[in-house]
Amino acid sequence: MSIRHTVTDSPIGELTLVADDQALIGLYFEGHRRRPRLTAGLGPRTGEGFEAPMAQLKEYFAGHRRTFDLELAPRGTPFEQRVWSLLTRIPHGQTRTYGELAAALGEPGAAQAVGNANGWNPISIIVPCHRVVGASGRLTGYAGGLARKRFLLDLEEGLDESGRLF
């Protein structure tokens, strides 16, 4: 499978999208804290084949899209895959805690492991790891930085002025 990438502007800075022949496998921020785990690298830069994700991201940032309809193939461990699948079921404008996700996975003591898997999510925004918050409802770590996390949650109208969730 050949891997390729493109870079696009967004309201939160440049985004790098990575795909193989079948699906989107990565979406990274400029300065992303955890680099992609792609041994083959990002492949050549091209705009071909990224029309759908770029159009859907544009709609999302304009406030016209709440869910994404794209072929995704994030690469990770079986546990990470389970966490990332669960992230895609958090509704737009809502949040969950790491503990709630661990409980939903049937592993109530695994909040830290969920947090680690969340941090390795290779498809930011589309697999909405920004919708996961600390047990107190406060924003916690985000590979794109807390300012971007706040922006995305505000875009989805999920925070009040104090930074606490409704």
**49 CB contacts (<8 Å, ≥6 apart)?**
4, 19
125 in Cβ contact with 27 (< 8 Å): yes
**Active-site entry in 25, 129, 152, 153:** 129
Q: Containing H/E element for 15?
A: strand 15-19
CA dist 2 and 48 (Å) reads 13
CA dist 80 and 89 (Å) reads 15
129 a catalytic residue: yes
The whole-angstrom distance between residue 165's C-alpha and the CA centroid of its chain comes to 19
CA dist 129 and 149 (Å) reads 9
Which residues carry out catalysis? 129
